[in-house]
Each structure stands twice: as C-alpha cells, then as structure tokens.
C-alpha cells in the first residue's frame, strides 16, 4: 500500500458510516448517472469489478441488472458495510495497484469517482493495472471531477484532484485504452463539474 492509499484509507475509515448515510443510496444518485452506468453495462458479457465500491450501492445496482460483479475497495469499513447491506453481492478489500486477478480475466471495470484521490504520479499505474486485468475489447468506465488537469482541491474527506477531459483521454490511451464516449455536465449550484469516459482495452 502506498502512503497516499494509507492516508485515504484512514480518512474514509472514520467517516464510512456518515458517507453511507449521505451518499450510499442509489435512489439519491443523479438519474443521468444511473442511465450512464446502465447503458455501459449493456455492452458487457462477463465478470466486472466495481473499483472503489464504497458502501456498495453501485455494485448492487449492477448486480440487480444481471452483471457478474464484485465490489472492491481500499477501506475495510466500507467493505464491512457493503457486505452487511448487500449479502448476495461479493465484496473484498483491495488496492488498485495490485488487484490479485489474472491477466485479461475481466470484461469490465467501473471506476466511478474512485480515482479522484490518486496523486497524478499514481494514476497511470492504476490505469495500467485495470488494463492488465481487462480482456481485449473489455470495457472501462471512469467518472471524475472535470477541471484543470491534476489540480488539487479540498474534498470533503481528503485531498482530491481534477482531471481535464483531454488529459484523461491521453492517460487512458497511454495505458492501452481506446476512448469511445465522453460525457460532461456543469449543474447550476450543484457538485463540481462532472465528466465520464467510456473506453475499451486494445
């Protein structure tokens, strides 16, 4: 585990219950996000991981739609909560840097706002690990805060980073992905600018 991962784990460990109460219900998620993730899942035929699953709501959301999915998270407290809430869905603790999965063993990786705390120097390695475990033409979906590339900001839990769409595209391509679609929105008075990108492994 890197020093940054240890920092993130400690930060979320003490607030896992609060996070779950505030952001752990799929009904409170933006309908456009639910639609985006549902459409992405329709392309997938095979095993998937929800990387950075938190309290497990997106993992369960996809499991209920017939996706063969496992939720992974760095924070043991989140995994404990997720297992309690969704006992029929598998969850385990894992770093993004060492997924303990065979090469080309997955059909999909969801990373929905789970890469935002990685230092800019760490993100390429995490993307390379996702590419390693994806089959050729396997599907990747990443959600992130859109802004000046690698600019830090004070997140409610711990430090996080913006990524611009052009820079995220470069990072994905350098890791062995082909970008298919990009979605962006800026809601008045809402959360920070949103972006999502779908890509395939090649």
- What integer pLDDT is reported at residue 183 of this predicted model? 96
Distance CA 80, CA 172 (A): 31
- 79's enclosing H/E stretch is helix 76-85
pTM: 0.94
Q: Are 4 and 118 in contact (CB under 8 A)?
A: yes
Write down the pLDDT at residue 190.
61
CA 161 from centre of chain: 14
Q: Report whether 79 contacts 73 (CB < 8 A).
A: yes
Map residue 65 onto helix, strand or coil.
Answer: coil
Question: What CATH number does residue 27 fall under?
Answer: 3.40.50.150
Task: List the one residue out of 106, 126, 119 whose CA is nearest residue 151.
Answer: 119
Tens digits of residue pLDDT in 82-92:
999 999 999 99
Domain residues for 154? 3-201
Task: Tell me how many domains the chain contains.
Answer: 1
**Residue 102: is it exposed, middle or buried by C-beta count within 10 angstroms (0-12/13-18/19+)?**
exposed
pLDDT digits (tens, 9 = 90+) for 172-195: 999 999 999 999 998 766 668 999
Residue 9: HSE in the Cβ half-sphere, 13 Å Cα cutoff: 16
Low-confidence ranges of the chain (pLDDT < 70): 188-191
Among residues 170, 198, 196, 169, the alpha carbon closest in space to that of 185 is found at: 196
* pLDDT score recorded for residue 114: 95
């Amino acid at each position: 585990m890197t020093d940054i991962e240890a920092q993130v784990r400690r930060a979320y460990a003490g607030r896992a219950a609060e996070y779950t109460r505030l952001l752990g219900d799929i009904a409170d998620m933006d309908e456009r996000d639910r639609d985006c993730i549902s459409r992405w899942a329709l392309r997938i035929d095979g095993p998937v991981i929800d990387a950075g699953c938190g309290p497990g709501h997106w993992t369960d959301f996809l499991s209920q739609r017939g996706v063969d999915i496992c939720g992974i998270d760095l924070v043991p407290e989140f995994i404990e909560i997720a297992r309690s809430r969704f006992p029929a869905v598998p969850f385990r603790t894992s770093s993004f840097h060492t997924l303990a999965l065979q090469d080309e063993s997955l059909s999909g990786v969801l990373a929905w706002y789970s890469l935002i705390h990685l230092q800019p120097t760490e993100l390429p390695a995490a993307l390379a690990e996702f590419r390693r475990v994806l089959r050729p033409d396997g599907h990747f979906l990443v959600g992130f805060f859109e802004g000046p590339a690698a600019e830090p900001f004070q997140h409610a839990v711990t430090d996080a980073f913006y990524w611009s769409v052009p820079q995220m595209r470069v990072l994905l391509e350098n890791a062995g992905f082909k970008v298919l679609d990009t979605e962006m929105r800026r809601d008045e008075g809402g959360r920070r600018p949103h972006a999502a990108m779908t890509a395939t492994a090649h």
